[in-house]
Amino acid sequence: MIHGMTMIERVWRQCNQSREADTIVVATDHASIFDAVERFGGRAIMTSPACRSGTDRVAEAAQLLNLSNENVIINVQGDEPLLDPHVIDALALEMESHPDVSVATPISPVHRPEELSNPNVVFAVKDRNNNALYFSRHPIPFYRELGNGLVLDWPREHRYYKHIGVYAYRAETLKQFVTLGESALERAERLEQLRLLEAGIPIRCVEVQYDSIAVDTAEDLSRVEHKIIERS
């Protein structure tokens, strides 16, 4: 519960405000979550508890829903109760306007230097075509002139981007993801998007102005509740 409402309902409500999403489905392997979604009027689908990652779960849901290869699927994790629906719209529009893009994900400029020392923040670097070069839980690039001792000063010298854990896939690429199996970089960083980069599948980065708060810790939960109370 977050300020009187379940987290999954808050995430669903944010997604429901998207102008570009046609259908919203909650994929879960927990009966309690399935029941909670149905109680607030959402649509849920049961998936296998054997799914190793959120992407594996979304791929199974897409198969159960009989989606065609041309469908675009946007994967929003259930721990983003403050997700801006414009993030979903930005990804959908990127996929619609660039048929050659098979995967897209949002990134946002880092504004708080303390985020550079937070292992729950994932950083991204991209090329001139806005395709991802790499993602890491360590701030990248390493700013050699300042060194490790002055990490909080790095954003003054270079623009850093953090990754927001939302993905847009073409259904065909999502099927391919599942067949690839866990990669070495994915295992090292515990970042499933690295599986695609290791396989040579480009990931388009879409810059958005959004300061995400995923609920990974009790401190995150407190921050989210404070934000919701402020907005109320």
**CATH number for the domain that contains residue 178:** 3.90.550.10
Task: Name the nearest CA neighbour of 108 among 58, 166, 148.
Answer: 166
Which among 181, 202, 185 has a CA at the least distance from the CA of 194?
Answer: 185
DSSP character string of 161-208: EEE-SEEEEEHHHHHHHHHH---HHHHHHT-TTHHHHHTT---EEEE-
Q: How many structural domains comprise the chain?
A: 1
Q: How much is the mean pLDDT over the chain?
A: 91
How far is the C-alpha of 157 from the C-alpha of 146, rounded, in Å?
9
- The pTM assigned to this predicted structure is 0.89
14-43 per-position pLDDT tens digit: 999 999 999 999 999 999 999 999 999 999
Whether 208 is covered by a domain: the verdict is yes
Query: pLDDT (tens digit, 9 = 90+) per residue, 132-171?
Result: 999 999 999 887 776 656 777 777 778 899 999 999 999 9
**Cα–Cα distance, 200 to 194 (Å, whole number):** 10
Report pLDDT for 142.
Answer: 82
For the chain, percent of residues with pLDDT exceeding 90: 67
- Is 37 part of a structural domain of the chain? no
At residue 95, does pLDDT exceed 90? yes
Domain span at 188: 72-231
pLDDT top residue among 124 and 213: 124
Between these two residues, 116 and 146, which has the higher pLDDT value?
Answer: 116
